[in-house]
Structure 1
Amino acid sequence: MTESITVIETPRLRLRTATLDDAPFYLALVNEPSWIANIGDRNIHTVEAARAALEAGPMAQQREHGYSFYIIERRSDGAGMGMGGMIRRDSLPGPDIGYAMLPAYWGQGYAYEAAAAVVQHAQHVLRLPTLYGITSPQNQASINLLNKLGLRFERFSRLPPAGKETNIYRKDFCCDLGSVSAP
Structure 2
Amino acid sequence: MKFHIETQRLILRELRNSDLNGMFELDSNPEVHRYLGNKPVKTIEGSQAILNNVFKQYKERGIGRFAAIEKSSGNFIGWSGIRLNTEYNMNGYTTYYDVGYRLIPKYWGKGYATESSKATVKYAFNVLKLPELYATTEIGNQASHNALLKIGLHYVEDFYFEQEQLHIRWYELKNNSYG
- TM category, shorter: 0.7 to 0.9
For structure 1, the 5+ residue unaligned runs are: none
Query: What is the Cα deviation at residue 41 of structure 1?
Result: 4.0
Number of residue pairs aligned between Structure 1 and Structure 2: 173
**How far apart, CA to CA, are the structure 1 residues paired with 2:174 and 2:161?**
21
Aligned partner of 1:99 among 98, 101, 104: 101
CA distance in 2, matches of 1:155, 1:64: 31
> Any conservation in 2 of the 1:152–1:170 contact (CA below 8 Å)?
yes
Shift of 1:123: 0.6
Question: Any idea what SS the aligned residue of 2:129 has?
Answer: coil
- The alpha-carbon deviation at position 49 of structure 1 amounts to 2.2
**Is 1:66 equivalent to 2:73 in the alignment?**
no
Unmatched 5+ stretches in structure 2: none
Partners of 1:86 and 1:160 lie apart in 2 by 23
Per-residue deviation, 1:39: 2.0
What is the alpha-carbon distance in structure 2 between the residues aligned to residue 13 and residue 119 of structure 1?
15
Q: Which amino acid counterpart does residue 109 of structure 2 have in structure 1?
A: G
Contact map agreement 2:37 2:166 (CA 8 A) in 1: no
**Cα distance change on mapping 1:159 and 1:86 into 2, 3 Å:** farther
Percentage identity across paired residues of the two chains: 31
Per-residue CA shift, 1:20-71, capped at 9, x if unaligned?
Answer: 2222211110122332112234452222221122102x21222222221111
What does residue 25 of structure 1 align with? 22
C-alpha contact 2:19 2:76 (8 A) present in aligned 1: no
Which residue matches 2:74? Answer: 78
TM-score in terms of structure 1 length:
0.86
Shift of residue 160, structure 1, vs aligned partner: 5.0
**Structure 2: distance between partners of 1:46 and 1:102:** 17
- Matched with 1:11 is 8
